[in-house]
Amino acid sequence: MVSGHGCFRAYLHRFKHEDSPECPFCPEFSEDAEHVFFTCPRFDIERRTLENVLKQKMGPDTLDQMMVSSKTAWEATSSFATDVLQQLRCSERERAKTRSK
């Protein structure tokens, strides 16, 4: 669990340092990890599902603590992150397709 947690942080870290274009949903924000995980309305449904499991609002300050608080919390958070990242990759592909036309 601890190594998985480290892995997730590494992922977040890497994601944050990638070139962040602006969010297609909210042009005033750049599409970085913090925005997509905690703020972007695109993932409201997923975020609400996760918060139901965690029984609290999630934010950059509390995420670490919540994730290690229980196996359930860790699993819910991981699947949320996987979901979000997968959808991001899909929309990136879509955008690439549109550009090449």
Pick the piece of the chain touching Zn ion (CB under 5 A) from 36-44, 47-55, 65-73, 79-87.
36-44
Q: Is 56 helix (H, G, I), strand (E, B) or coil?
A: coil
Residue placing its CB nearer to Zn ion in the complex, 40 or 58: 40
Query: Treating both helix axes as pointing N-terminal to C-terminal, what angle do 2-17 and 71-100 enclose, rounded to 10 degrees?
Result: 30
Q: Is residue 25 part of the contact set for Zn ion (CB under 5 A)?
A: yes
Residue placing its CB nearer to Zn ion in the complex, 8 or 31: 31
Closest CA to 34 of 20, 50, 54, 46: 20
Residues lying near Zn ion in the complex (CB under 5 A): 23, 25-26, 40
